[in-house]
Each structure stands twice: as structure tokens, then as C-alpha cells.
């Protein structure tokens, strides 16, 4: 059975009085997921998860009884797998959706520089706020359907309209109900004034949404090679306050620029500019060396690894051996090309198999470092526990459309993700609110989202 909501329509925040007079205590309604299968080192079948408000209140095993209360919304998982919602540590919701609609991923490219110069940058410069909103909504919906409930998004748009870009992406994300940390990728293409405008747009947006339950703002950097000294300096203060999301060293361009400018490698160059810290996410890092790994670890910064995008664009994966030895915090990202994190996990696992014989610690890398890393960085950004099925954690959950035979193998959630690759989300709960019910978006028109994204893509691709 699907669900037994008490009352019609999508979930609401409300209180219900017991019929005992005006002085009766108020009873908060709960979301109760029953008959769930939970993965992990100790897999559980027949489990129940109780959500009160924004948080998980209790997790009960198959033998523990959870009494119903008046006003509960009860969800029968019916033996399906329930997991913490995924955290995509590096995405481009709008341009990623556009690139998929343009048929980019199957194409063959010689280098990241070729993709950026011939395709991506010209498209980004055509993304007006209307297109950003429409494409971001479609990207957010694709992520939600793939069981991703939180995205760290790096946006670029039409030059001269930087201040409008992040609010437009935020409107698109809100239409779906996704949790999002949004940054504007500042660079000096078009002149230093454009880089400064991008840095200012990110800082203003971060201040505006600082108290929002679902949205956060971050400073953003679209590559070291494209940013001058004043733009980097302008990013330092908002990065220290709100965090930094930076595409760095996706190819040799940033490496060459950092050496030419300061005779430093990219990560130390970021550090010299005051851009490293516990809420810094460095995406890609293909040229990262051992000394850089040590610096990432000492500053508690994160590296976002994007396996499928690297393979699609002909980029190298970062040196995971050096990163693992130095205990660098890492997380998986999609780069916006693909919505599902489990697919990224499988792609990385297949790549690691080639070197696992020489590096046995790779067997722990996915399950114990990369997979939980997304929840770790989201927890830092929101100042609340994210990415866990445990009492007190924010209730970001996905009921996957997969009924695994039980018992499941005893493995970390990251290693278990290799089993559920391709399983879509039947239900998605973000911040305690049901956003997807039996595959259908609540509170939004899926056909309209798709139509608007298609119209925006057609308009941009024609220009």
C-alpha cells in the first residue's frame, strides 16, 4: 500500500487539538514510515522511522512497536529500501540540464578546455534569469527523483545580470522543495568588473538566505585561471562567513596559472588567498598533489570528486591514493550531468578496481569517506545533522523503488549504494516535508516544469 494520509492534499505544518475542550494539549502530527528496510553495517527489515517537525524523532527495529497517534501521516514502505537523502557535493543544476537536453554527455571531447570554450561558456552566457529558473527546477526535480535531497550548486549566467542569477535558481529549487547551497561562479571573463559582480552577487545572496531552512548561499569561483587578484580578494570575506564552492584544477589550466602567478600549485594558491576552510568545497582537483592533499586536510576543506563527468570530458580523477593517505575529506558530485549519486559511486568503484591491487585502502574509500562526505559538508553548512537516519538528524529521506531480498549484506551505506544503482525514489522527504509521493511531485506541476525547461533550452540553444 502507498500511504494513508489523514486529510486531503499535500502535507502541511499544522496542529490538531484533541476534542477535550479549549485547554487540551496540542498534538503535533508526525510522519511515520513503516515496514522499511534500512542498509548499513547492521541492516534492518521491518523498521519504522518517526519524523516530528523537521527531525527524525525515533528509529525502531522490526520487533519494536510504534503506536499510532491522531493526525499521523503513515507511509507503508512495503519492504522498500529507505536511505538518507543523497547530498550532491558539486552540481550545475541549470547548465547541466541544458547540456543533457543538448545531448552533450554521449559526445566525445578531447579535453575539458574544449568543452568549456566551444560549448559550455557560450551557453552559460545566454542563461538569463528566466532560463536559469526553468532549467534549475527541472534539474532539481531530476535530482529528487534520483533520491538526492540536497545539492551544492555552482551557477553562472548572463553577464550583467549576476545579481538576478541566484534568486532565479532559488525559485527553481523552491518549486521542487530541494535543499540547496547555491553559489555564483565568479570569473573575469568579460573583464574584472564581471568577476567582482559575480563575487558580490554570491555574497548578497548568502546574506539574504542566511536564516532560510532549505537554502544557503556560498561564495563561488569558476576556476583559478579565469579570476584575477581583485576577484579572488573579493571572495575571501564571504568565503570565511558562508563557505566557498570552487571549480579548481579540472585540467592543467589552473595549475599553469597558479605557477605563473605565484609559483604555487592551485590548492596553496587558494590558501594564500584566504579561500580554504572547513566549509570550502574544491571540485575536481585533477592535478592535486601530495602537498596539496596535506593542505586540504589541515584546513579541513572538502574535495568533490565527479567521476562520470571526468570520464565524459576526458579529465583525470584526482590522485585518490595521496588524498586517502592524508585523510582528506571527500564527497561525490555529479557535475550536473547525471542526477544520481549511486551511479557516481558505481563509476568510481569500477575505476578503482584497476588499482585496488596496489592500494588496498581503496576498499574503504567509497563507503567510509566519499559517500558520507556529502552529509558532513551539508551538516557544516546548515549547522544541523544531515545525511543520517538517526534521532535528531534533519529528516531528509528517500524511499527507493527497490525491495531488496533480506538479509542484505552487512556493508556501509556507500558500499550498499552499488546495489541500488538505478532505483528511483518512490518517496522523498526534505526537512520533514513529503516532496515526492509514489513518484509524483507534491505541490508542483511536473508537466509545466518539463515544458518550461524545454522552451528555455530551445531558446538558449538557438541563440
CA distance 85 to 429: 8
Q: Is it the case that residue 361 has pLDDT exceeding 90? A: no
Closest by Cα among 247, 165, 152 to 202: 165
The 10s digit of each residue's pLDDT in 207-225 is 999 999 999 999 999 999 9
pLDDT at 408: 87
pLDDT in tens, 140-194: 999 999 999 999 999 999 999 999 999 999 999 999 999 999 999 999 999 999 9
Predicted structure pTM score:
0.92
How does residue 8 score in pLDDT terms, banded at 50, 70 and 90?
A: very low
User: Does pLDDT of 6 surpass 50?
Assistant: no
Closest CA relative to residue 122, chosen from 455, 461, 456: 461
**284 Cβ neighbours under 8 A, 6+ residues apart:** 90, 247, 248, 249, 250, 304, 305, 306, 310, 315, 318
Q: Which residue has the cell 570528486?
A: 305
List C-alpha distances in Å: 82 to 44, 49, 208, 367. Answer: 10, 9, 34, 17
The tens digit of pLDDT for each residue in 74-117 reads: 999 999 999 999 999 999 999 999 988 887 766 666 778 888 88
| Structure confidence at residue 41 (pLDDT) | 87
For cell 574509500, name the residue.
365
Confidence of residue 14 (pLDDT cuts 50, 70, 90): very low
Omega prior to 407 cis, within 30 of 0: yes
| DSSP assignment string, 247-274 | EE-SSHHHHHHHHHHHS--HHHHHHHTT
For the cut 70, the answer to whether the pLDDT of residue 362 exceeds it is: no
How many other C-beta atoms are found inside a 10 Å radius of the C-beta of residue 358? 8
* Consecutive H or E run containing 350: helix 341-352
Can you give the pLDDT at residue 352? 83
Distance CA 125, CA 138 (A): 19
| Domain range 3-84+387-443, CATH class | mainly beta
For residues 255 and 267, give the distance between their C-alpha atoms in angstroms, rounded to a whole number. 9
In angstroms, rounded to a whole number, what is the distance separating the alpha carbons of residues 124 and 460?
Answer: 9
Query: For residue 195, what is its C-alpha cell?
Result: 568577476
| Bridge partners, residue 81, by sequence | 37
**Sequence-distant (≥ 6) Cβ neighbours of residue 383 within 8 angstroms:** none
Ranges of each domain in the chain: 3-84+387-443, 86-382
Within 8 A by CB and 6+ apart from 131, the residues are 94, 456, 457, 459, 460
Q: Residue ranges of the alpha helices (H) in 33-104?
A: 93-101
Kindly report, residue by residue over 259-287, the tens digit of the pLDDT: 999 999 999 999 999 999 999 999 999 99
Q: Is 70 exceeded by the pLDDT of residue 243?
A: yes
CATH number of 86-382: 3.20.20.140
Amino acid at each position: 500500500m502507498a500511504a494513508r494520509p489523514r486529510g486531503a492534499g499535500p502535507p502541511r505544518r499544522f496542529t490538531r487539538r484533541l476534542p477535550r475542550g479549549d485547554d487540551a494539549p496540542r498534538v503535533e502530527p508526525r510522519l511515520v514510515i513503516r515496514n522499511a528496510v534500512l542498509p548499513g553495517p547492521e541492516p534492518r527489515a521491518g523498521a519504522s522511522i518517526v519524523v516530528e517537525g523537521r527531525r527524525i524523532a525515533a528509529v525502531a527495529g522490526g520487533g519494536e512497536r510504534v503506536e499510532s497517534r491522531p493526525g499521523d501521516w503513515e507511509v507503508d514502505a512495503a519492504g522498500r529500501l529507505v536511505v538518507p537523502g543523497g547530498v550532491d557535493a558539486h552540481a550545475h543544476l541549470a547548465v547541466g540540464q541544458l547540456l543533457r537536453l543538448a545531448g552533450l554527455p554521449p559526445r566525445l571531447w578531447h579535453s575539458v578546455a574544449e568543452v568549456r570554450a566551444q560549448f559550455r561558456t557560450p551557453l552559460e552566457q545566454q542563461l538569463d534569469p528566466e532560463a536559469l529558473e526553468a532549467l534549475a527546477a527541472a534539474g532539481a526535480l531530476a535530482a529528487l527523483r534520483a533520491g538526492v535531497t540536497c545539492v551544492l550548486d555552482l551557477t553562472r549566467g548572463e553577464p550583467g545580470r549576476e545579481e538576478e542569477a541566484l534568486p532565479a535558481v532559488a525559485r527553481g529549487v523552491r518549486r521542487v522543495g530541494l535543499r540547496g547551497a547555491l553559489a555564483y561562479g565568479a570569473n573575469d571573463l568579460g573583464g574584472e568588473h564581471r568577476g567582482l559582480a559575480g563575487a558580490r552577487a554570491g555574497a548578497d545572496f548568502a546574506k539574504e538566505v542566511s536564516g532560510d531552512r532549505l537554502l544557503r548561499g556560498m561564495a563561488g569561483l569558476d576556476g583559478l585561471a579565469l579570476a584575477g587578484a581583485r576577484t579572488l580578494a573579493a571572495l575571501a570575506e564571504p568565503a570565511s562567513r558562508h563557505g566557498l564552492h570552487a571549480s579548481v584544477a579540472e585540467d592543467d589550466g589552473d595549475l599553469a596559472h597558479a605557477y605563473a602567478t605565484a609559483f604555487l600549485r592551485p590548492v596553496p594558491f587558494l590558501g594564500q588567498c584566504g579561500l580554504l576552510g572547513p566549509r570550502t568545497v574544491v571540485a575536481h582537483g585533477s592535478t592535486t598533489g601530495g602537498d596539496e592533499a596535506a593542505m586540504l586536510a589541515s584546513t579541513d576543506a572538502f574535495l568533490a570528486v565527479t567521476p562520470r563527468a571526468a570520464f565524459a570530458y576526458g579529465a583525470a580523477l584526482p590522485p585518490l591514493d595521496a588524498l586517502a593517505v592524508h585523510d582528506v575529506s571527500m564527497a561525490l558530485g555529479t557535475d550536473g550531468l547525471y542526477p544520481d549519486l549511486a551511479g557516481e559511486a558505481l563509476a568510481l568503484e569500477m575505476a578503482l578496481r584497476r588499482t585496488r591491487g596496489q592500494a588496498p585502502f581503496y576498499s574503504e574509500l567509497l563507503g567510509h569517506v566519499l559517500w558520507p562526505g556529502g552529509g558532513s559538508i551539508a551538516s557544516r553548512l546548515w549547522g544541523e545533522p544531515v545525511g543520517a537516519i538517526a534521532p535528531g538528524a534533519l529528516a531528509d529521506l528517500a524511499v527507493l523503488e527497490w525491495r531488496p531480498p533480506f538479509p542484505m549484506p552487512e556493508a556501509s551505506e556507500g558500499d550498499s549504494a552499488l546495489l541500488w544503482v538505478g532505483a528511483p525514489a518512490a518517496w522523498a522527504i526534505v526537512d520533514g516535508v513529503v516532496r515526492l509521493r509514489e513518484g509524483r511531485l507534491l505541490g508542483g506541476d511536473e508537466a509545466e516544469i518539463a515544458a518550461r525547461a524545454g522552451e528555455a533550452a530551445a531558446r538558449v540553444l538557438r541563440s
